[in-house]
Amino acid sequence: MRTYNVNVNGVAVKTTVTDSVSFVDSFITELILSCNYTNSSSSRPPIIGFDVEFTESAIDGIKAATLQICSGSRCIIIQLNKTRANNSVPQSLINFLAAPLFCFVGVGIFQSLALLKREHGIECRNVVDLRLMLNMAVARGAVELEPKPLSVVTGDWVLRILAWSKSRVLLLMLFLF
Which pLDDT score, from 0 to 100, does residue 110 have? Answer: 92
Q: For the segment 48-67, what is each residue's pLDDT rounded down to a tens digit?
A: 999 888 877 767 778 888 89
CA distances to 1, 10, 136 from 82, in Å: 12, 32, 37
**Which of 36, 107, 31 has the alpha carbon at shortest distance from 76?**
31
- What global pTM score does this model have? 0.77
DSSP code of residue 147: P
Q: Please indicate, yes or no, if residue 137 is contained in any of the structural domains.
A: yes
Regions of the chain where pLDDT drops below 50? 38-40, 154, 157-177
Helix axes 91-98, 21-34, angle to 10 degrees: 30
Radius of gyration of the chain (CA): 16
111 is a domain residue: yes
Query: What type of residue sits at position 40?
Result: S
For the chain, the domain total comes to 1
Residues 6+ apart with CB under 8 A from 58: none
CATH code of the domain containing 94: 3.30.420.10
Burial 29-67 (b: 16+ CB within 10 A, else e): eebbeeeeeeeeeeeeebebbbbbbbbeeeeeeebbbbb
Residue 176: inside a domain:
no
Q: How many CB atoms lie within 10 A of CB 136?
A: 11
Would you say residue 88 lies in a domain? yes
In a domain, 11, yes or no: yes
Model pLDDT, residue 156: 53
Q: What is the pLDDT of residue 161?
A: 45
User: Is 18 within the bounds of a domain?
Assistant: yes
Residue range(s) defining the domain that contains residue 55: 2-154
The answer as to whether 46 is a domain residue is yes
pLDDT at site 154? 47
What pLDDT does residue 169 have? 47
In-domain check, residue 166: no
- Output the pLDDT for position 177: 42
